[in-house]
């Protein structure tokens, strides 16, 4: 079956078209796309989608619909996450997608988003990493944490309203950011982790997902360009990741823009995302210290997008373009 998963978050919209050879077999990618649509621009402050952000995002949906038609996609799962959950005028977006693709948007709860991310990531790491896994999907509006086993058993999950766009809009207005801004942002993430009330101490493998974390990994690897094959599965010490996160937090927009692997749409938000990732790592390290101390992170190029494609195969949802 040829399927598609589309993930529309606060910062980016992404498309995966893939063939599913058979049950329990890995996806065979046909195409992967990512655009920075910034659908969630201002939603944390206003509670509504901005008209320009809506127009921009639906323009990408038009393009994705065309690609799905051209590639003969038989089933599509389209998921919207943090920004759409929060926007009072979300129906404008949901109706626009239905008109263009002929499928309903699945507005995932934080828990559903977390589970889909876990499925997508662990499908490729389940046999080569020690369980329990903690997956961290750091998006534009929220961050999802899932602790689970390689058979799909979920031991605990939490969704926090801290992401790279939301944190930038809440706390970072200077370039470079000030110590006071950093302190307020850290307190915000720490409070979110406290409220999540997720026991992180059993974690044996920490898997980081999504664009902020993959870009931080590219910096740690000193890549001359963005290379998913080198980023996927990269194993890095906690100290190494902490240092790279600190560089991003303290850097200027100009310095970030000069990085050869940096997507232009991440330049103004990745420093706030790096702070979220740094705080999560520090919390996991502290909670695992008394049992089996965590020493490394693994980066995955597979995440909720893969989970959506697998869902499209498991429960077919034919489009009516």
Specify the pLDDT at position 241. Answer: 97
Q: Write down the pLDDT at residue 97.
A: 95
Token pair listed for 25:
């077999």
Predicted local confidence at residue 200, as pLDDT: 96
Helix (H) or strand (E) segment spanning residue 189:
helix 179-196
For residue 106, which of 133, 121, 85 has the smallest C-alpha distance? Answer: 85
Identify the pLDDT of residue 23: 64
Helix extents (H) in the chain: 43-46, 51-70, 82-86, 90-101, 110-125, 164-171, 179-196, 211-220, 228-231, 238-250, 253-257, 270-288, 304-314
Q: What is the dihedral of CA 60, 66, 71, 74, to 10 degrees?
A: 90
Query: Would you state the structure tokens that stand for residue 184, as one six-digit string?
Result: 């307020």
Cα–Cα distance for residue pair 213/165, rounded to 1 Å: 14
Edge-first strand listing for the sheet containing 296-300: 154-160, 143-148, 133-138, 205-209, 296-300, 235-237
Helix (H), strand (E) at residue 181: helix 179-196
At 256 the pLDDT is 98
What's the full length of the chain, in residues?
Answer: 321
pLDDT at 247: 98
φ, ψ dihedrals at 122, nearest 5°: -75, -15
Cβ contact 31:71 at 8 Å = yes
Using 50 as the pLDDT threshold, list the residues of the chain that sit under it.
Answer: none
> What is the dihedral sign for C-alpha 305, 211, 114, 124?
positive
Cα–Cα distance between 34 and 143 in angstroms, integer? Answer: 19
Find all residues with CB under 8 Å of 62, minimum gap 6, and list them: 100
Q: Are 320 and 145 in contact (CB under 8 A)?
A: no
Helix, strand or coil for residue 14? strand
Say what the pLDDT of residue 163 is: 93
* Among 130, 277, 137, residue whose Cα is nearest residue 205: 130
């Amino acid at each position: 079956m040829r399927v598609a998963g589309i993930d529309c978050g606060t910062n980016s919209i992404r498309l995966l078209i893939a063939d599913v050879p058979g049950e329990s077999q890995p996806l065979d990618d046909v195409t992967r796309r990512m655009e920075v649509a910034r659908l969630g621009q201002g939603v944390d402050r206003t509670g509504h989608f901005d008209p320009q952000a809506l127009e921009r995002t639906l323009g990408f949906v038009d393009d994705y619909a065309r690609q799905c038609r051209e590639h003969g996609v038989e089933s599509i799962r389209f998921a919207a996450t943090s920004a759409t959950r929060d926007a009072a005028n979300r129906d404008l977006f949901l109706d626009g997608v239905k008109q263009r693709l002929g499928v309903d948007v699945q507005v995932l709860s934080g828990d559903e988003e977390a589970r889909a991310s876990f499925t997508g990531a662990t499908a490729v790491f389940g046999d080569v990493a020690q369980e329990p896994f903690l997956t961290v999907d750091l998006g534009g509006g929220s961050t999802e944490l899932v602790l689970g086993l390689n058979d799909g058993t979920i031991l605990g999950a939490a969704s926090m309203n801290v992401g790279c766009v939301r944190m930038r809009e809440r706390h970072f207005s200077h370039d470079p950011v000030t110590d006071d801004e950093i302190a307020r942002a850290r307190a915000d993430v720490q409070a979110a982790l406290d409220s999540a009330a997720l026991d992180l101490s059993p974690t044996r493998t920490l898997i980081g997902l999504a664009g902020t974390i993959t870009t931080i990994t590219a910096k740690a690897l000193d890549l001359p360009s963005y290379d998913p094959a080198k980023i996927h599965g990269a194993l890095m010490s906690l100290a190494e990741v902490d240092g790279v996160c600190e560089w991003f937090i303290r850097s200027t927009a100009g310095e970030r823009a000069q990085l050869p692997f940096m997507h232009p749409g991440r330049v103004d938000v990745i420093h706030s995302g790096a702070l979220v990732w740094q705080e999560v790592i520090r919390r996991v390290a502290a909670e695992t210290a008394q049992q089996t101390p965590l020493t490394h992170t693994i980066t995955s190029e597979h995440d909720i997008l893969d989970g959506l494609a697998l869902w499209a195969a498991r429960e077919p949802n034919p489009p009516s373009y």
